[in-house]
Amino acid sequence: MLVDDFRSDTVTRPDAGMRSAMAAAEVGDAVYDDCPTTRRLEAIVAERLGKEAALFFPTGTQANLAGLMAHCGRGDEYLVGQMAHTYRLEGGGAAVLGSIQPQPLPNEPDGTIALDAIANAIKPNDFHFAVTRLLALENTFNGLVLPDAYLQAATELARSRGLATHLDGARLMNAAVASGRDAAWIAAQFDTVSLCLSKGLGAPVGSVLVGPRDFIEKSRRIRKMLGGGMRQTGVLAGAAIYALEHNVARLGDDHRRAADLATVLARYPELGAGPSRTNMVFMTPKGLDVSAFVAFLRGRGIAVGGRYGTLRWVTHLDVGDDAVERVAESCEVFFDTQTSPAGLRAQA
């Protein structure tokens, strides 16, 4: 049985307070736009992010896709990081369902896209090319907070060239807490923003897309087309409101625990652990049987995720200081076993 699940901050479970909020939520039919709790959630998020309107979606993938489709027509192009979630990890929906051409650009080590790369990728007014309509950024990016000055420079560049801007702000609240910036300041740099409620904030389901009112109404039609029109969503919106009221400021605890975890993992050079990035720690092990290490942790009730040779630890509201202590104890036991005579014979 899993005791400490570090695979993602999406694995959290509603606590008693959130469940009570869900049970007490007043509901209506959200497709008819008469679910009072859902409308309240949308008003709260729009106000908190400084935008005219907001729309609740079942997933962040669908919120981003609707945003891209509302910005771009068939055959248009959007500029995006090579490693960005909307390009790499959302099933190619922009191309498959939106007929939007992605123009992926290299992400720098700090998560940004070089301004020169953005400028050079914007297509000229020539019928040989797709029309570049949009710049899409992501904050946080693999746990990294994009610098304030960069957000301003990149979006100003886009606007100067006639592009709209969209922020995949799945973990926008992590970025705001880590940087000390108000979330509305970050959102103000962009025309539209998506905010995930089930990453870090602890709601079981949902994302919200914010932007100008006419854009949101266009996105409402697209949401229906994509199958995202849900009915009594007040139950889910109640959980989301509770998350926004109770689980934003505490993100700093997740960041502190990630830093503590990075310190623990750094004791073992074989793990190749880097510094913490808000609520994440990445490892690129070397000279280590990664599958054996992961299986050993799993046997002690600790789960960690990863792909392509990299492991990712993510802290969240269901991970406390005691969980970090258990990781420290487990690593100590594992490496003691590896360097014992019996362990060395087994490796041989």
In a domain, 3, yes or no: no
181 and 264 both lie in a single domain: no
117 and 239 both lie in a single domain: yes
Domain count along the chain: 2
pLDDT interval class at 338 (50, 70, 90): confident
List pLDDT tens digits, range 61-108: 999 999 999 999 999 999 999 999 999 999 999 999 999 999 999 999
78 and 211 both lie in a single domain: yes
In a domain, 9, yes or no: no
Provide DSSP, 194-252.
EEESSSSS--SS-EEEEE-HHHHHHHHHHHHHTT---SSTHHHHHHHHHHHHHSSTTHH
Over residues 204-216, mean pLDDT:
98
Taking a C-beta distance cutoff of 8 angstroms, is the pair 153, 120 a contact?
Answer: no
Per the structure, the complete domain to which residue 338 belongs is given by 250-347
Q: Which amino acid is at 4?
A: D
Q: Domain of 332: which CATH number?
A: 3.90.1150.10
C-alpha angle with apex 71: 113 to 59, nearest 5 degrees? 80
Q: What does residue 115 show for φ and ψ, rounded to 5 degrees?
A: -60, -40
Q: What does residue 237 show for φ and ψ, rounded to 5 degrees?
A: -65, -35
From the CA atom positions of the chain, what is the Rg in Å? 22
Which of 231, 246, 261 is at the close of a domain?
Answer: 246
221 and 81 both lie in a single domain: yes
In a domain, 272, yes or no: yes
In a domain, 201, yes or no: yes
In a domain, 6, yes or no: no
**Residue 120: other Cβ atoms inside 10 A:** 9
185 and 315 both lie in a single domain: no
273 and 238 both lie in a single domain: no
Least confident of 7-11, 139-143, 178-182, 286-290: 286-290
Q: Domain of 121: which CATH number?
A: 3.40.640.10
pLDDT interval class at 2 (50, 70, 90): confident
214 and 314 both lie in a single domain: no
List pLDDT tens digits, range 53-67: 999 999 999 999 999
In a domain, 5, yes or no: no
Q: With 80 as the cut, is the pLDDT of residue 154 above it?
A: yes
In a domain, 54, yes or no: yes
Using CA of residue 229, residue 233, residue 238, residue 239, what is the dihedral sign?
A: negative
Over residues 135-162, mean pLDDT:
98
178 and 41 both lie in a single domain: yes
43 and 122 both lie in a single domain: yes
260 and 190 both lie in a single domain: no
51 and 162 both lie in a single domain: yes
C-alpha angle with apex 158: 155 to 162, nearest 5 degrees? 135
Which of 193, 227, 246 is at the close of a domain?
Answer: 246
Cβ neighbours for 282, distance < 8 A, ≥ 6 positions apart: 142, 143, 273, 274, 310, 311, 312, 313
Tokens of 85: 């979630």
What pLDDT sits at residue 219? 98
221 and 266 both lie in a single domain: no
Tokens of 58: 């079942």
What pLDDT sits at residue 164? 98
Give the residue among 255, 263, 260, 259 at the shortest CA–CA distance from 279: 255
Which of 246, 281, 305 is at the close of a domain?
Answer: 246
C-alpha distance from residue 208 to each of 44, 214, 220 (Å): 11, 16, 12
Taking a C-beta distance cutoff of 8 angstroms, is the pair 107, 81 a contact?
Answer: yes
Tokens of 270: 């074989």
What pLDDT sits at residue 345? 32
